[in-house]
């Protein structure tokens, strides 16, 4: 099996005696993690969770998450896992839409990135493809049967000695989840989502519950309101449930890659729908420490 090398570099300029455009934080096989990439992900995470972007613990967790993504992509590439252009476009549209909601407007998002929206999409396209490949590898090899646990651990052993700044409790987390532990965490999240669904059915105000409990920072402050969305923008599981609802109807708990959703259809206008939701994410144990 090809060995994947991970090397941490001191934050130095890309080329000596040249103008510093960016800095390399880590190298995973042939993939690099740039300072700008880490900074953006830290800022996004801080905004989503109301945290201080300068917090060193947050920065370490985000860096570890990026490393794990690169590790999985490297393995997925070796396994020749393929992703279609349609899959990439659907996920990219969803991600851009989420970012616009997160920052409040297209203009604000362009300001944060420092480039027009179309250029943002082009810059994210490759990362989106790699992330989908990593997710597909996780589902294929690590997320379904107990016998896969040894394979996960063996794979991680090939690079763990190159992770001097990552604490042990973060080493097999987020992506590398023990199937039994993963089931326990998922069941806990689903049970909480079901309890919220019961509250909605009992007459509790949907918007109030969304503001208090939803893990979608882009919509929670607006009572879970997602505004009007065209078909093909939302993730398939969410979309299938939302388009099957009548106005004001509440869905059952819907599982997607982001967690568990409770969806209410507010209005349908042609092929577009206006919906709101409550999202309960499946949180790994290390996230609770933040």
The pLDDT value given to residue 148: 39
Compute the average pLDDT of residues 230-251: 85
Query: Is residue 123 predicted with pLDDT exceeding 50?
Result: yes
- pLDDT > 90: what percent of the chain? 12
The pLDDT value given to residue 80: 76
Residue boundaries of the structural domains of the chain: 6-176, 183-289
Per the model's pLDDT, the better-predicted residue between 251 and 134 turns out to be 251
The pLDDT value given to residue 31: 74
Query: Is residue 252 predicted with pLDDT exceeding 90?
Result: yes
Compute the average pLDDT of residues 153-181: 36
The pLDDT value given to residue 191: 92
Query: Is residue 114 predicted with pLDDT exceeding 70?
Result: yes
Count the helices and strands in the chain (H runs, E runs): 10, 7
The pLDDT value given to residue 256: 83
Instruction: Round to whole Å and give the CA distance between 150 and 222.
Output: 44
The pLDDT value given to residue 179: 39
Helices (H), the chain: 35-49, 56-78, 85-103, 106-113, 117-137, 148-157, 179-201, 206-213, 217-220, 236-243
Query: Is residue 156 predicted with pLDDT exceeding 60?
Result: no
The pLDDT value given to residue 203: 92
Largest CA distance in the chain: 67
pTM greater than the 0.85 cutoff: no
What is 6-176's CATH number?
1.10.4030.10
The pLDDT value given to residue 20: 39
* CATH classification for the domain delimited by 183-289, as one of 3.10.50.40, 3.30.70.560, 3.90.105.10, 3.30.360.10: 3.10.50.40
Query: Is residue 52 predicted with pLDDT exceeding 70?
Result: yes
């Amino acid at each position: 099996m090809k060995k994947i090398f991970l090397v941490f570099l001191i934050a130095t300029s890309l080329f000596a005696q040249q103008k510093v455009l960016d800095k390399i934080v880590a190298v995973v096989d042939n993939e690099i993690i740039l300072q700008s990439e880490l900074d953006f992900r830290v800022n996004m995470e801080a905004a989503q969770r109301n945290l201080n972007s300068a917090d060193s613990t947050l920065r370490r967790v985000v860096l570890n998450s990026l490393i794990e993504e690169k590790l999985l992509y490297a393995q997925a590439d070796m396994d020749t896992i393929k992703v279609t252009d349609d899959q990439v476009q659907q996920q990219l549209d969803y991600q851009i839409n989420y970012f616009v909601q997160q920052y409040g407007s297209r203009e604000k998002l362009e300001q944060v990135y420092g480039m027009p929206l179309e250029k943002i999409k082009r810059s994210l396209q490759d990362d989106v493809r790699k992330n989908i490949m990593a997710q597909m590898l996780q589902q294929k090899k690590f997320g379904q049967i107990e016998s896969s646990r040894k394979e996960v651990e063996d794979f991680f052993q090939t690079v763990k000695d190159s992770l001097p700044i990552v604490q042990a409790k973060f080493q097999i987390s987020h992506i590398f989840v023990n199937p039994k532990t993963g089931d326990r965490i998922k069941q806990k999240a689903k049970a909480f989502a079901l309890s919220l669904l019961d509250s909605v059915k009992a007459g509790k105000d949907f918007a109030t519950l969304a503001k208090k409990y939803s893990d979608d920072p882009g919509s929670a402050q607006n009572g879970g309101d997602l505004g009007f969305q065209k078909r093909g923008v939302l993730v398939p599981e969410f979309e299938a449930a939302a388009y099957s609802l009548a106005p004001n109807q509440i869905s059952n708990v819907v599982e997607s890659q982001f967690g568990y959703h409770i969806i209410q259809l507010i209005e349908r206008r042609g092929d577009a729908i206006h919906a709101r939701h409550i999202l309960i994410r499946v949180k790994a144990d290390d996230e609770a420490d933040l």
